[in-house]
Amino acid sequence: MTHTRYAFVKANWHSDIVDRAIDGFQELIPAAQIDVYDVPGAFEMPLLARDLAQTGQYAAIACAAFVVDGGIYRHDFVAQAVVDGLMRAGMDSGVPVLSVSLTPHHYQETDHHNAIYRAHFVEKGREAAQAALGIVRTRAALSQAA
């Protein structure tokens, strides 16, 4: 059975930037085929991605977050844990789980930086949609060849 629904999980931290990823995603996959879920932050994405994958309703799941160094701790360990968790969710479930998580080393909350990252998230959302469609198409071809 080929699924035509996609899940898009987005972190609420820096939502004014992160939410642009869904704009890019919807350029290639119609909004009517996408269920959007919000989570508090990036760290919560892998658990929800796993739960969504286990429902069997989605062809692929994209997860978007903006993990910045807030000066209190290094954001590297959060970013690594998130990417590892997303990969594990995909491997354990057999459903592609894609990351639209950016971890800039130099981010300042200025109009200039915000504009750059908003535009970048649109592009990354578009790339995630391309990846989702591509992996679903490849897996369907493999399934038919078997």
Which residue out of 5, 20, 74, 139 is catalytically annotated? 74
Q: Which amino acid is at 4?
A: T
SS3 label, residue 110: coil
Which residue do the tokens 């085929």 mark?
33
CA–CA separation, 56 vs 21, rounded Å?
24
Active site residue 74: yes
CA–CA separation, 112 vs 89, rounded Å?
35
Enumerate the active-site residues: 74
